[in-house]
Amino acid sequence: MLETLKVTLDTNTNLTPEVKENLMELITVFVSNEAFKGVNLSNLNERLKTLKIKRESKFLVRMPCRYNAFTNEILINEEMFKESDARHWLMHALLCVITGNENRFGFTTTENKMIALCEGYTEILTNFLVGDVDNNYFTDEIIMTNLISKVIGEDTLFEAYFNNDSEKVLKAMVDAEGK
């Protein structure tokens, strides 16, 4: 699958060779990690065809970068991005691309609910894959996500995140309440 993703990424005319190389490095980190062997990457392959990276106003993007699932764009706050760990932030955005589905990612809902839980889980995975950063914007979300994972189980969050299944998380929370 890694070779397929590389071929697809190479056909994307929206990205520079340097960006493609950086994204491929992060994709390789993800794919080669044993914890993610069962993750379906066909959606990533599809999104890589049209993925764009766009500079955006610091008033619209209040962190180094974020992924917009509606437009399939990684939006960069250039000022903050230059001062941050670019590898960390691109991995965070790449995880959102991997789980992107129509206008959402991870286990966010179409109404953009559960975004805090999704961002917390994305950041936990990012930290696992490429390490933590000093100025983490998601400290509260990480704490909340860790507490919820203790209640409903890490496997439930993992499966729900990579299958865009917010209902699985909600059902597990309701079931845990009854115990």
Please tell me the predicted confidence (pLDDT) of residue 131: 83
Who wins on pLDDT, 52 or 177? 52
Q: pLDDT (tens digit, 9 = 90+) per residue, 90-136?
A: 999 999 999 988 777 887 766 768 888 989 999 999 999 998 777 77
Please tell me the predicted confidence (pLDDT) of residue 66: 84
Q: How far is it, in rounded angstroms, from Cα 155 to Cα 52?
A: 32
- Residue 25: pLDDT band (50, 70, 90) is very high
Q: pLDDT (tens digit, 9 = 90+) per residue, 161-174?
A: 999 888 888 888 88
pLDDT over threshold 80, residue 13: yes
pTM of the model: 0.89
Which residues are CB-neighbours of 50 under 8 A, at least 6 positions away? 12, 14, 72
Residue pair 41/99 in contact (Cβ under 8 Å)? The answer is no
Who wins on pLDDT, 81 or 151? 151
| 24 token code pair | 């491929």
